[in-house]
Amino acid sequence: MVQLQGEARREYVARMFTRIAGRYDLMNSVMTLGMHHRWRREVAELASRGLEEPALSRSPERSEGSPKGLALDVAAGTGDLTLALSTHENITRAVGLDLLPVMLHLAGEKAFKRNAGRVHFVAGDALRLPFRDNTFACATCAFGLRNMPGVRDALAEMARVLRPGGALVTLEIVPLDPGRWTTPFLRFYFRQVIPRLGGLITGDREAYTYLRESADRFPTPYHLVEIMEDVGLDSVTYRYVGLRMMAIHRGVKLV
């Protein structure tokens, strides 16, 4: 499954997320003990800041230099991060893009229930974003990069549509560090506990077996820094969250 490339990988992932869409939010909350909401809020905060802000502060404070304009959330899923972006005053509108109609439908319902007026959801491919160069003040992607056929290509597309001075922030599950004493326990959790929970909650154990396998094949946090720099981002930094199972990366487009 994770060995698939190109269009075959895209189709596999699309079918998988279509199957689990109805219980996707519930499973995320169970797996992370609800912490994924906090991490998404942090991503939105980091994305909405100006150049002079410290990149990955644990106690972020908004400054007067924050960029103003449109925000883009790629692989928006059910819209939690898109909605978090829309709460920032300097974001005039948050655009959530996803490949799957079922996810966009759920995101739209969520936005309607919350009376969120500054959001817009659109169907699209992360590797061929339907936007002009230098359109967005900031861009984000949470738990979506490792599902894409080309991580570098997706980051390059997000950098392309980002305005100079804007931040690109990602949140992703990363390979476990083999040298840490917690790794055997975390590996057991991901490989044994989560697939069983996924089977019980969503009826799809295969989808949550894929979760750890795809993370193990994802670039390490340091390698992802190099990729982000390679596509034209500067001042790239990262920090671990969730017992070092996930990492938040932030880079800024200078030109």
Q: Would you say residue 126 lies in a domain?
A: yes
Q: Would you say residue 114 lies in a domain?
A: yes
- What is the model's pLDDT at position 51? 43
Please compute the mean of the pLDDT values over residues 66-76 and round it to a whole number. 90
Residue 21 above 80 pLDDT? Answer: yes
Q: Would you say residue 207 lies in a domain?
A: no
Q: Would you say residue 189 lies in a domain?
A: no
Q: Give the global pTM.
A: 0.91
- What is the model's pLDDT at position 241? 96
| Span between the terminal Cα atoms of the chain, in Å | 38
Per residue in 199-222, pLDDT tens? 999 999 999 999 988 999 999 999
Residue 97 above 80 pLDDT? Answer: yes
Q: Where are the alpha helices (DSSP H) in the chain?
A: 6-20, 24-32, 35-47, 80-86, 101-113, 151-161, 183-188, 194-202, 205-216, 221-230
- What is the model's pLDDT at position 55? 46
Q: Would you say residue 213 lies in a domain?
A: no
Pick from 132, 122, 131, 125: nearest CA to 154? 125
Q: Which of 8-12, 28-32, 54-58 has the highest mean pLDDT?
A: 28-32
- What is the model's pLDDT at position 57? 42
Domain count, the chain: 1
CATH code, domain carrying 124: 3.40.50.150
Q: Which domain holds residue 135?
A: 6-174+219-253
Q: Would you say residue 187 lies in a domain?
A: no
Residue 20 above 80 pLDDT? Answer: yes
Q: Would you say residue 212 lies in a domain?
A: no
Q: Would you say residue 99 lies in a domain?
A: yes
- Residue 145: strand pairing partners: none
Lowest mean pLDDT among 47-51, 60-64, 81-85, 131-135: 60-64
